Amino acid sequence: MMQIQNLRQFGTFIGLLALCLLFWILSPYFFTVSNLLNIAQQTSIIAILSVGMTFVIITAGIDLSIGSVLAFSGVVMASALHAGVPIPLAILVGLGVGYLSGTVNGLLISYGKLPPFIATLGMMSIARGLALWFTNGRPVSGFSDSFRFLATGDILFIPASVWVMVIVYLIAHFVLTRTKLGRYTYAIGGNEKAAILSGINVNRYKNIIYGLSGLLGGLGAVILTARLNSAQPIAGIMYELDAIAATVIGGTSLMGGQGTIFGTLVGALIIGVLRNGLNLLGVASFIQQIVIGAVIIGAILLDTQLKKQKE
């Protein structure tokens, strides 16, 4: 596993470097400290969602609800803030809403035996509906500076949201490689039957993993709300697809059992760098979409090609 995964990751990482090199040559504005921080900040939300998605996809599942869960957590948290709830508590409420939504996904999948695609597709609609219903369809806007600091403030010259992302990635990498939860995530995705026969409480771990994905949706909502100074019930539409793309570009197999957190970060950065670089170059919006699609397909082609070679 190590060899193929390293190779694959290495390839993705080289791809990211090549992309950076290309934009560096083409645009004088690309390789500046402020632009690189800008990219990191812009990537942070999708990157955080992708962490949960990576866990979920390694178990051979999928979470289509994450964009909607983000919106729902966001509006509940924002309403709490408007109701005068102290910031840390309001954030906990937002994270809690995300965690609960994710856990519902988990329960439907583990005990309800629903395919993850269906369960989270349903939750995608439910969470979005709840967000719209909760707010009457209107955004909840205007927060204190101390809350907005989470997205707009700098700590040691680096945006706070980038710090959050880095910390989430360090923790997630640690959990995935060095804890029981991480090891079981791989085992469940690689062969669920074998996992059960090896005594893993698969249902319980699925609940935790989908809950985790929802929790990170809530965290994404905190940053997005702080960044926009507004929680929109229509926020995060199709973010799940960006998160899936980042995860898959980063080498996580949709078949389950394989993937790394580091790879996902590279995947998210590839998408972020592409969007940024194409903007800097003034490439027409429609062409940007074509290029991003081509890169996703290219990355997966690379993956299948590598696997073929391995055989």
Q: How far apart are CA 181 and CA 46, in angstroms?
A: 23
The one-letter code for the residue type at 73 is S
Site of tokens 């809530």: 218
Query: Closest separation between CB of residue 76 and other proteins, Å?
Result: 17
Which CB atom, from 4 or from 166, has the smaller least distance to other proteins? Answer: 4
**Tokens at 189, concatenated:** 């995705």
**83 Cβ partners below 8 Å, 6+ apart?**
none
Min dist CB 243 to other proteins, Å, is 14
Nearer to other proteins, 89 or 301 (CB): 301
Consecutive H or E run containing 18: helix 2-26
State which residue, 43 or 120, has the beta carbon closest to other proteins: 43
In whole angstroms, how close is the CB of 300 to other proteins at the nearest point? Answer: 11
Q: Which is nearer to other proteins, 100 or 279 (CB)?
A: 279
- CA distances to 19, 28, 172, 276 from 24, in Å: 8, 6, 31, 12
Q: CA 235, CA 203: separation in Å to the nearest integer?
A: 31
Q: How far is the CB of 148 from other proteins (least distance, A)?
A: 8
Query: In the complex with other proteins, which residue's Cβ is closer, 89 or 141?
Result: 141
- Nearest to other proteins of 50, 105 (CB atom): 50
Dist. CA 270–CA 12, nearest whole Å: 9
DSSP 165: H
- Decide: 56 and 213 in contact? Cβ < 8 Å: yes
Q: Which two tokens stand for residue 100?
A: 């609960």
- Smallest gap from residue 31 Cβ to other proteins (A): 11
Q: Which is nearer to other proteins, 105 or 240 (CB)?
A: 240
Asked if 66 and 217 count as a contact pair (C-beta separation under 8 A), the reply is: yes
Q: What pairs with residue 159 in β-bridges?
A: 154
When computed from its CA atoms, the radius of gyration of the chain, rounded to whole angstroms, is 19
Beta carbon of residue 40, minimum distance to other proteins (angstroms, whole number): 12
Shortest CB 244 distance to other proteins, Å: 16
Q: How far is the CB of 228 from other proteins (least distance, A)?
A: 4
User: Judged by CB, which is closer to other proteins: 100, or 295?
Assistant: 295
| Cα–Cα dist 224/231, whole Å | 8
HSE-CB for 176 with a 13 A CA cutoff: 28
